[in-house]
């Protein structure tokens, strides 16, 4: 059963609360709340952070969880996909010279 806004607001005890379909709301000791996608791949339980409640609405988290479940159905590990996406973004940033330009800007400020 999907969590309601009222239920989410009342969740203060640190733990994971199930929203259904592998999606959990993690309440931290600090009181912050974040969305987690929990799944098992090759007999290993894994967790993938979706994002903080302040930035990701329940509907957005559910949509993202649906995308991740589709990957699992195809036999694809969502953590591997996320790592590849980040690596590609880093490579693209390096190829565009963004890091070099930031270095020049930093060096100019330091002079």
Q: What angle, rounded to 10 degrees, do the helices at 58-73 and 78-95 form?
A: 100
Query: Coil, strand, or helix at residue 80?
Result: helix
Which residues touch 33 (CB under 8 Å, ≥6 apart)?
Answer: 8, 11, 25, 26, 27, 52, 53, 54
Q: What predicted TM-score, i.e. pTM, was given to this entire model?
A: 0.78
Write the pLDDT tens digit of every residue in 41-65: 999 999 999 999 999 999 999 999 9
Q: What is the largest CA-CA distance in the chain?
A: 59
Write the pLDDT tens digit of every residue in 3-36: 999 999 999 999 999 999 999 999 999 999 999 9
């Amino acid at each position: 059963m999907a969590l309601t806004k009222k239920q989410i607001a009342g969740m203060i005890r640190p733990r994971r609360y199930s929203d259904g379909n592998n999606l959990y709301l993690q309440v931290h000791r600090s009181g912050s709340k974040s969305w987690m996608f929990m799944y098992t791949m090759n007999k290993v339980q894994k967790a993938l952070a979706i994002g903080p409640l302040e930035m990701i609405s329940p509907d957005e988290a559910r949509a993202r969880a649906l995308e991740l479940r589709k990957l699992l159905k195809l036999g694809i590990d969502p953590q591997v996909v996320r790592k590849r996406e980040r690596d590609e973004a880093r490579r693209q940033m390096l190829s565009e010279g963004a890091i070099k330009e930031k270095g020049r800007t930093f060096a100019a400020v330091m002079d």
